[in-house]
Every structure is written in structure tokens, then in C-alpha cells.
Structure 1
Amino acid sequence: MEKVLIVGSGGREHALARAFSQSPQVSTVFVAPGNAGMVFDKIQTVALAMDDSDALLSFAQEEGIALTFVGAERPLEAGLVDAFRAAGQAIVGPTKYASQLESSKAFAKEVMHAAQVPTSSYEYFNAGDMEAAWAYLEGKGLPAVIKIDGLYAGKGVVIPESMAEAQATLERFLVEEKLPVIIEDFMVGPEFSYFTLINGTSVIPVGSACDYKRVSDNDQGLNTGGMGAFSPVPWFDEAMETEVLDTIVRPVAEEMVRRGEPFTGVLYSGLMLTAEGLKVVEFNTRFGDPETQILLPRIQDDFYDLIQAHLAAEAYEVNLSPETHLGIIVAAEGYPEAYAKGMPIRFTQAAKMEDIYFAGVQAEESGTDLVANGGRILMVTAEGANLSKARQAAYAQVDQVNLPQSFYRSDIGLHRERSN
């Protein structure tokens, strides 16, 4: 029986820990730092910062950890995988260099260009370069997409609705926060995600999902880390999957090998089906949140076996449940800006705790009950024979959560039809 360490603290890491804990080959799952809601699954949390490579490595060595899985993006950017590999510790995730596919939009565009992967055109602007950026945007006009060239907790993308908003956004990013940006062409079409495990040129397809980034119904309001998701994508068929693998995933994997920096770990391909065909919106170099919470429960294999095949660069066919899984994020009032904290979280007797994933929570000082301590507090999930039934079941479960000063979108499972 093996010990596994998950690095991260949110709902994604809760889902990863739950998946590993269901393997008969795993005795103990640790999550660093984890969150208080994970105790419902008897998962052990470890009070270590997710970007403290030295402390995490020491813990893994002292505990005899057989496998470490990096859930969050910050430790990847900090070089956690590099440190573990140098010490001979098995770990899932890309190196600091390869994780730039997520942490640098400009790097990702450069790799896609070299690999002839379809994506939108763009221009890059250094921090402080307001005059050049504004001149470019004025000449280009709207619609356009402004993206921070770095990690920003899923909120570094703005699609301005007016030139005044565009100017204010550039001022904030480039001048006030001193961050570089790219300005790229606005694309139109249904958006979805596709997940693979890559080890050099070895690719294991995992599955598809649709998520909802905007904070409010009908895709209105600010971008967030994700307000809900479902899997699979109904119109994502075998032919389209082959196209994604052949024209996007494998070319990127091969380009990273050509650079002498093979990609290892999870590649999240954020895709859009435009009138000109499939194009890449973005890459993430780890599982998505909230997609992980509804994708992993569909995997019918031993998750530990799957990850071992990935590490060995072996072929593996993932068996997925045909049922649709759908999840709804319950967030704190005010999120994604300043939000409420400290609200008690209660559940009715009808709540299915095995279908709830915790993120922004902590234990009450007076006992073991939970209180809200983050923007995205928890995710309620359900499954059904189709998208409609999964949606109905998930919203029935949301009603079993009693959480003051919170909100959720009422349209998860809608507005993601294939239109071309």
C-alpha cells in the first residue's frame, strides 16, 4: 500500500485526493496544505505552503511518499517538479520551463506558432508600455481580448465592452500593477476544455468538459476561476477528439521535446470551435477547477494505475462513465472582488456529502463545523443519464446547502450548444 501527496488546497485537490483514496493500492492520501472540508473523506491535511519546495520535499522523503501530484499552478511556476525530480521523487506535473505554457501567454503563443497549432493572432506589450498598447488597441478596435501574461487566479482575462473599459483595463494591468499583457483577436464559437496526460511524446487522452467562467447568469459579469462545469461535452465526438489530438496536443508535445524540455503532466487545452475550425484559447498545465470535480468521478479505472502508466510513458485507455456529471460552485457574496467570510455552512440530512467538494472553508474555532473562508466555497455535483437530468439533480442538491451571504449561477448546463 502506497502513500500519495497532493499539492494544493481547493476543490480540484479534494477531487484528486478522493480519486486516489479510492484505489486499493493507496493507504494514505496527504494534501498540502488542503482545507478543513477534506476531513469528511478522512484525507490528511499537512500545514505546508504549496510553494515551499524544500519543506514539501522533506515531508515526502520522511513519510516515504510514493507519488506526488501537483494540483495547483503556483508550485509548478515555482519549480516544485524540478526540485522533486532532482531528488529522485516521483511527481506528476511539468517543469518550471514547461509550465510556462500556462504561466506565460506569450510563451504559449510562441510554442503554438512553432508547432503550427491554430490560435488567435496577438501582440505582446511589456509592463508600463501603455502608449504602444493603447495605440494598437485604438487601431484594432473592439472586440478584443486583454490577457495578463502570467498567473492571475483565473481572473486575468478581460473582454472590454467599451474603449473606456479597455483603456482602464490596460492602465490597471500595465501601469498600476506593472504586468505585461497580450492583446489578441476576439474569437466566436462554443468553448470547451480537453484534458490529456503527456509524458514526452506519450499522450493519454482523459476527457472533455465545459466550464463557466463569468460570475453571473448568461455569461455576464467579471471572469472568475470558474462557477460550474459539466462533462462530457455532448457534441464533442470521436472525430473531433482525433482532430484535437493530431493538430493541437501532439504537435505541442513534440515541439516541447524538440526544445529539449519535454512536457510532463496534465495539459488542459482550452478550445473554441470557430467558423474557421478548432482554435486554442489557452493552455493550463494542470487539471482545471471546477472541471476536475466532474471529470475524475467519470473515470472508472483505478486512478493510481492511470497515473503510473503516465509516469512510465505507457499507452493507457481511460474508461469513462457515459453518464453526464455536472457541478455548481457556491461562492461568497461579492466574489470575484472583495467577498464575505466567516459564514457557517450547514447541510440538510438529504445532502450527499460524497458529491460535495470543498475549497474556501476552514473549521470553526469552537468545533468541527465549517465556515466560509474563500471566494469559491464549495462545489455541489451530481450525475444523470444526460445533461438535463444531471442539471436537475445538481440543483436539487444545491438546495440542501444552507450558506448565508452566498450565491451561485442558475444556468450551469445551459448555453453551451454547438452552433457551427
Structure 2
Amino acid sequence: MTTFRERVSDATSNPDGKFSLAEILEIFAAGRLPLRFTAYDGSSAGPDDAALGLDLRTPRGTTYLATAPGDLGLARAYVSGDLELRGVHPGDPHDLLAALAQKLVFKRPPARVLANIVRSIGIEHLKPIAPPPQEALPRWRRVAEGLRHSKTRDAEAIQHHYDVSNTFYEWVLGPSMTYTCACYPHPDASLEEAQENKYRLVFEKLRLKPGDRLLDVGCGWGGMVRHAARHGVKTTGVTLSKEQAAWAQRAIADEGLEDLAEVRHSDYRDVRESEFDAVSSIGLTEHIGVANYPAYFGFLRSKLRAGGLLLNHCITRHDNRHSATAGGFIDRYVFPDGELTGSGRIITEMQNSRLEVIHEENLRHHYALTLRDWCRNLVEHWDEAVAEVGLPTAKVWGLYMAASRVGFEQDSIQLHQVLAVKLDERGGDGGLPLRPWWTA
């Protein structure tokens, strides 16, 4: 039996020799595949007894992989059904993605080998083809929807992700309908306990009490709005998602909270009221755009009374050096126009907006647990989810949530809560305690 190096040597020394699809993958992986790979040309690679695997079923899948290397090509082939994952459920492919992230390192082969790979694949597979219909337009083609982070384009981006189906989200998110990182009071806590604990933590950090006024921007299905209203706080929430706003308004009515809670289908920039006692931004900053942080935090500051508190809760990079632009898969299939930066940049922009940052913490491990539980819910309701939104869309959600879990586990992304206060003209903070006043 010939070795990997011998097969590569034979094919590169013979100008007319060709690599099989499995050999091509082996070359890019330097012969170290952590799973089993099979292809429609009959070739295979990787351990025979591997529990996890990838099966390339069609020539179209090869075209997707060859014309969009990286996560975008893999996503296109998988969503379209041309690439199948073996050993995992499509609602939670975490174990396969974790194995790839931990053990698979792609290396660019020498020019002569690369030329032979191109001949082996065939020029017909190097011509881009239409992506799956679930994919959003590339950034440069979204100009018809307005400039990036204009009100019109932001509305389109939010609707792409959040207006999929309230029923679908109910199956994935559970009764809380909360689509942001939970805070687990202990490792064995349920998702619902953890989400309620997150709202409790935010409420306490903001020092809210009956009679106060809270503005919750990017309020989603109104979880924070209703939590605060149940505790006597007059709360206004805003969301760009029509479906979210309708669901939240029904939930407010069902709980009899109309006198204290309101959710508007609106851009946060259209909020006219001011002098709020507190502002919460839970999972919105990712959609704002880093260049817009000064205007964003300046606007939120303008909504606060002197001594009022702002809590910003968002996903971040693990450092402040990486590009803010999301990868191809996330940008095209999940969060169009989404951007992430490090917590240092967020704190800097809040300080530059004349907000005094008084506390911050990283909850990345909690988000890994949250995503684990969302994937469990998707697996449990897989048949209903597929019937509701279709197999390709259900696969997108399983793929993105499981991949995000891997990112939090391996510290490529984090989740930070940053608490700040609007000082008065003399630097007064409204008499805040000297040390944190909330229960961790």
C-alpha cells in the first residue's frame, strides 16, 4: 500500500497524472485528516474507523468548495445537500466542527502541486455558480438596500435573520424566547433558569427599582422589557424585526403588562424620549458597525438622565487587532453586515462618548453553554423545524450555532457585559456604591 507522500510524488512527477478528490483534501491537510472523507469519484481518505466524516456527493459540491475556499464554500455545499456530515445530527454538528477546528490545519501546497490540483479538479469546477437561495447578497451588492448601517439596510439585515419564523424560534430558544447569552447560576442550571438569571443580573446591575424608566434597544421578543415591567419598571423596547415586535406585544398583553411595557417596531435612532434611568443594549452592538460606535454610544448617553446607567452586552473578538468584518458564512447566511471587535474598542468608544465605565466581565463560557442548549432544542424539534422553515434553513441554524459554540469554547470570540454611568457636569455619579452591588 502506497503512502500519502508516495501518491503525491507520483502524481506531481507525472504531468498527465491526476489527483483524486480525497488526495486533494489530503494534500491541503498535509495527510492528517481527523475524520473520514469520501467522494463521489470513489476516493476516500482518513481513518477507516473514524466516527465522524464528510461525504462529498456531487460535482456541484466540488464547484462550491473550489470557488469559495473556507467556511463559505463548505456552507454552500452543506446547505445545498452536496456535502453531508457523518456521525452528527444536522441540528448539532458540534463534535465534527470541534474536531476540524482542533486538529485540521490547511497548508498551501507548492506551486507545482497546486497546478496539478487545478488540472485534476477541472476548469469547469473553477467557474462560480449560483449559491443556495438561503444566501444573502455579498456586501458590495447590497448597495440597493442603502449604505451599510443606514436605517433601510439595517432593517433588511435584521429581517433576514430574525423574521424567519417565530414558531421556529420558539422551538430553538424555548419559553423565554431569548436570543442572547444566558448566565448560568450553576453548571446544571436549565436554559430557562440561566436566561432568567441573565435578566436578573442586568436588572440589578442597572440598579432598577419600581417607578424607574428603562429603554431596551434591540429588545428582540421583549424578554428584558417584560422582566423589568414585572418588577414595576416602566420599560420601552425597540426592534427592527416586525415579527419580534408582534410577538412581544402579544406577550405583554397576555401578562397584563400594558401599563408598564411597550415594544415598538422601530429603529432605536427614532426614540424621541430621554431622561431614562437606565438603558440596556443586549445583543445589538454586533449589528451597529464599528465605525458607528461613537454615534451609537453618544445617542444612548443622550437618552440617560445624569447618574443613569447603561449596560452593553455583546459578542466580541478575543483581541482588538482582528478585522471587524464577519467571515463569509456568517455574513451571507446569518448576520448580514454584522461586525465584531474587541472589548477594549467598545470600552474606549464608551469612554470617548463621556460615559464612565465602572465594570465589565466576560461571559464567553456561558455563551458556549447557551448555544449547547439551543442546539439541543433544535435537535429535539428537528422534524417540526424542517417542516416550518425547510431543510436548508434548519441546517444553516444548526451549523452556525454549533460553530459559534466552538468559537466560544476555543476563545476566538467572547461575550462582554460593560456597565457605564452618565456623570453630571461636576463628575457626580448619582451616589453609586463604592463596590459592585449586584449578586453574581
When you count helix as a share of all residues, which structure comes out higher?
2
Point out the structure with max Rg over C-alpha: 2
Q: Same fold (TM over 0.5)?
A: no
Report the TM-score, using the length of structure 1 for normalisation.
0.30
Query: Which has the larger strand fraction?
Result: 1
